[in-house]
Structure 1
Amino acid sequence: MTAELDPQSPVHLAVDLGASSGRVIAGGMADGPSGGQKLVIREMHRFANHPVRVHDSLYWNVLSLWQNIQDGLTGAANEFDQVRSVGVDTWGVDFGLIDRNDQMTGPVRCYRDPRTNGILDKAFDRVPREQIFQETGLQFMQINTLFQLFAATEAGETSLEAARSFLMMGDLFHWMLTGEKSIEVTNASTTQMLDPRTKKWCVDLLDGFGIPHSFLCEPTEPGTTLGNILPSVSNITGLVDVPVVVPATHDTASAVVAVPADGFAPQRPDWCYISSGTWSLMGCELPAPKVTPLCGELNFTNEGGVRNSTRLLKNIGGLWVFQQIRQAMARRGHDVQWAEMAAQAADAKPFELLIDPDHGDFLAPPDMIDAIEAFAAKTGQKKPESPATLYRAALEGLALRYRACLAMLEQLTDSEIKTIHIVGGGSQNELLCQMTADACNRGVVAGPAEATAIGNVVMQMLGTGQLNSIEEARVLIRDSFAAKRFEPSDASIWDAPAERFNQLAAES
């Protein structure tokens, strides 16, 4: 028997938007089966999210997302008598622009849009790479907001001229809910336009790229009450006089809040996290940023966390390759389920094919299987003989990338990482969790799978005074959600593949 939310109990609604799906989740306290109060979540509405291609451009279907958000809020209003607050978290880097008439200037581009292809070299011709890193402390990726805006500026896109407000994705939906414009700091920190030490916009850097910045407002801290839901939204959803309490709007920042670890932002951490989904974000929670030459050399990022903490991390390709192999199989007439893919991968011969999930060839190929076969040919490897080889290679490549990242984290933080916490949807892939334990030769704690939504709810509870600290929240999360531990076995068999992988990554 598990604890369940009572319709009369106070709840908070987390709108959790990822790059492949969205959810509206209710969270609140309930009596546990063996006594004591537990934090309980309940999914109210789930919906797909995927970019829409128009000619050569990729856009997000923002209006469909907004309709689904309202549908989820309506369902929650019908189910619960006491909705205390609402908050939205999303993926990073993407944004919407609002004009002087409070209208969107146009559709929202997806970070996988090809307009930023080759933009980094052009950007470094304008402003030196070292200067950009010293000002922003962020990992260089062509998808970062800075480079999206630079590409738009270079292309002379009229939407920039018309813009009076700039909103990250979570802020865009908060504006739709309340009419209030804000830019929450954890998502602002993914833009490569924010100083991680001062939390101020790098206006001189933006001037160097010719990017306007009058549409930027001062970042907002997680836990801030933004305002009540608009009457027009109340009329549709049935939620009346319900405040929007800003969570950590970057989904990874919310997920890190829900890591069931001891303490908060230690100077020398003995644990790290992997927020595992379409992307994997692997890092440590620290009290201050590390904007050092070594950090820049290793291409790590200093993103904002809650309560003025820093998430020192690296963005890794994640389960994207695995997901896209499944789609490619479907186009070939094979509807393979996730569990079947994992089972076939477990039975496949190890290390038949090595692929780097961070390689540019896998960012947005028309067909992932074709891309992997081309990569194998280009790197002198055998063509994969079966789908199972593809499935296993995608997971082994991730585990090997985690191993490399772990070594860098320990070097940057001058600490020994003893435990890896995997949270998010990828924590349910037990084969990947065991591979990670083996490849890294560290204990892995997997769960909670819904860490992002839980972290979103927890920040709303902190913002409304139901919880007092992150430490208290993490004790509650440990007591409320089961986690599974994986211990390393046969770790030494990963040594030779790791050497080959590192050489392959360096050469390609």
Structure 2
Amino acid sequence: MTHVLAFDLGASSGRAVLGRLVDGRIELEELHRFSNDPVLVGKRLHWDVLRLLHELKQGLLKAKNQGIELGSIGIDTWGVDFGVINEAGELLGNPYHYRDTHTTGMMEQLIEELSADTIFERTGIQFMPINTLYQLASLNRNHSQQLIGGKHILLFPSLLRYFLTNEMYNEFSHASTTQIFNPKTMDWDDLLLQTIGIDRELLGEVVQPGTQAGKLSDEVCDELGIDTVPVIAVAEHDTGSAVVAVPSTERSFAYLSCGTWSLIGTEVQEPVINEMSQSLNFTNEGGAYGTFRLLKNIMGLWILQESRRAWEREGKAYSFPELVQLAEQAEPFAHFIDVDDDLFLHPGDMPAQIRLYLDRTGQSHPGDVGSYVRAILESLAFKYRQAFEQIERLTEAVYEGLHMVGGGIQNTLLCQWTANALGKRVWAGPVEGSAIGNMAVQWIASGELKDVWEARRVIRDSFPIVQYEAQDAESWNNAYKQYKMKTNIK
């Protein structure tokens, strides 16, 4: 039986997942899982992109060694990052990690030059210092050798796809995250590119999800001893793929893709670019099949992940289930943080950054690890409520609840607290949302599924969905008021 293979790379780990359709159900097999660890070289933080290519090849080898016939392959990754290719087709330098500090101050500089209104009106993208716009501006204005010798800029999934196929295409859902793509013209924005000194030819053609964007190259096939396979440009932004996999029965729904980042939003047919969406700092990222993702990027479980690393450096190793158990035992609503504060953007001693934030807002310090974890998770849940209410205002809709997908839903405490904070139901599942959405686009491209709505029905029938009911409404409502007051969030 023919399988599809989804390479799904998040900011902390990646996986190669096989999928097949059997009697209207999806069967999954995780072939290969690997960590995705940034590498600090001097003061610069990079992605280990060649190691990631090696891991993709390991996934292909494991499929071969099991005698599996592949119908197609798709790749999705996190957003905004990229690599630069020279005239000879070789990678120039290690791609920067979006948490590197080389963009510091660049967002403010470009806003001063162009105005926030101009940038948002032309892109509809949330202002974040990590955006590709500011990364490219920083490289160009600092005379980076990468750009001086560069002939092609490939966004991260397109870069990995290029390594496998020798074909260069950037894909729409990923291109839309850059803050240099204009969703009205559906092309790269000339004014922004001219301002940062980037030739549009470097960015090349943008293809839509579902496009065949090459086949495994002869070099890759010879190296691995495998037959060539079509490579589909899926919704290559991992959230774009995750939204395809939201198992909603309604055409209007709210979702939260939960992992290192939390992305909460809704699917719309046209970008929502107006004064309200700009003032709320929402984003309009491309989706599959003519849709846009009206959403808010929230720092997510990064703060917990980085805190765990800090405790490990002190010789205190905790599993994530252990941290959740400690949080459950800690005093409720004792400390509140704005998870999107710039203090939490870069790697480092995250518990120390939390203490610094608490000092700045006149709050006491947590007394133990469980109290730190509880502060992070409760604050995340309240941030979700704030964004959920803003989505309802922007769309003038009322959503019955929130669909949560992604690896973060394995934290059942966070799911329950999100339901409590919202005062609404939460439906959690599937866990492998991005990989499943990646597969769904491949199956639609091959004609095995008719459209995204048939895909969502099949996904809903294939995977368990856990429903969480809101609890203890009065306590959570009172605590939400404290959260807004302590964090100065309106």
Structure-1 separation of matches of 2:412 and 2:154: 37
Q: Which amino acid aligns with 1:371?
A: Q
Structure-1 separation of matches of 2:421 and 2:444: 37
Structure-2 separation of matches of 1:466 and 1:163: 40
The aligned residue for residue 447 of structure 1 is 429
The aligned residue for residue 254 of structure 1 is 241
Instruction: Note the residue ranges of structure 2 that are not aligned, 5 or more in a row.
Output: none
Structure-2 separation of matches of 1:256 and 1:505: 30
Match of 2:49 among 41, 55, 62: 62
Q: Does 1:92 align with 2:79?
A: yes
Structure-1 separation of matches of 2:487 and 2:156: 32
**Offset at 1:241?**
2.2
C-alpha spacing 1:80/1:474, structure 2 compared with 1 (3 Å)? farther
The aligned residue for residue 27 of structure 2 is 40
The aligned residue for residue 15 of structure 1 is 7
Secondary structure of the residue aligned to 1:232 is helix
Match of 2:60 among 69, 73, 77: 73
Q: Is the 8 A contact 1:11 1:80 kept in 2?
A: no
Deviates more, 1:222-231 or 1:467-476: 222-231
Q: How does 1:2-401 map to 2 (within 5 A)?
A: 9-30=1-22, 36-263=23-250, 266=251, 269=252, 271-401=253-383
1:49-80 per-position Cα deviation (integer Å, ceiling 9, x unaligned): 02111111100000110111101110011214
**Offset at 1:504?**
3.7
1:86-123 per-position Cα deviation (integer Å, ceiling 9, x unaligned): 11100000001111110111110000010112222111
Structure-2 separation of matches of 1:91 and 1:507: 27
Structure-2 separation of matches of 1:397 and 1:151: 32
C-alpha spacing 1:455/1:493, structure 2 compared with 1 (3 Å)? same
Q: Is the 8 A contact 2:16 2:56 kept in 1?
A: yes
Q: Is the 8 A contact 2:171 2:208 kept in 1?
A: yes
Deviates more, 1:36-45 or 1:388-397: 36-45
**Offset at 1:204?**
1.5
Structure-2 separation of matches of 1:52 and 1:125: 32
Structure-2 separation of matches of 1:413 and 1:480: 30
Structure-2 separation of matches of 1:474 and 1:37: 11
C-alpha spacing 1:306/1:21, structure 2 compared with 1 (3 Å)? same
1:388-433 per-position Cα deviation (integer Å, ceiling 9, x unaligned): 0001111001001001001100000000011200000011111000
Q: Is the 8 A contact 1:168 1:183 kept in 2?
A: yes
Percent of aligned pairs sharing the same letter: 40
Secondary structure of the residue aligned to 1:109 is coil
Structure-1 separation of matches of 2:114 and 2:487: 27
**Offset at 1:507?**
7.2
Structure-2 separation of matches of 1:321 and 1:469: 37
The aligned residue for residue 425 of structure 1 is 407
Match of 2:418 among 432, 436, 452: 436
Q: Which amino acid aligns with 2:135?
A: Q
Structure-2 separation of matches of 1:486 and 1:59: 39
The aligned residue for residue 491 of structure 1 is 473
Q: Which amino acid aligns with 2:488?
A: A
Calculate the TM-score normalised by the size of structure 2: 0.98
Secondary structure of the residue aligned to 1:306 is coil
Structure-1 separation of matches of 2:275 and 2:467: 35
Structure-1 separation of matches of 2:199 and 2:348: 34
Calculate the TM-score normalised by the size of structure 1: 0.94
Q: Which amino acid aligns with 1:251?
A: D
Q: Does 1:408 align with 2:390?
A: yes
Q: Is the 8 A contact 2:16 2:59 kept in 1?
A: yes
Structure-2 separation of matches of 1:235 and 1:24: 20
Q: Is the 8 A contact 1:400 1:501 kept in 2?
A: yes
**Offset at 1:198?**
2.8
Q: Is the 8 A contact 2:14 2:36 kept in 1?
A: yes
The aligned residue for residue 5 of structure 1 is none
**Offset at 1:334?**
1.2
Q: Is the 8 A contact 1:365 1:371 kept in 2?
A: no
Deviates more, 1:151-160 or 1:139-148: 151-160
Structure-1 separation of matches of 2:368 and 2:345: 22
Secondary structure of the residue aligned to 1:384 is coil
Q: Is the 8 A contact 2:84 2:91 kept in 1?
A: yes
Runs of 4+ in 1 over 6 A off after TM superposition: none
Structure-1 separation of matches of 2:180 and 2:294: 17
Match of 1:468 among 431, 441, 450: 450
Structure-2 separation of matches of 1:318 and 1:108: 23
Instruction: Note the residue ranges of structure 1 that are not aligned, 5 or more in a row.
Output: 1-8, 31-35
Q: Is the 8 A contact 1:74 1:236 kept in 2?
A: no
Structure-1 separation of matches of 2:225 and 2:472: 56
**Offset at 1:211?**
2.9
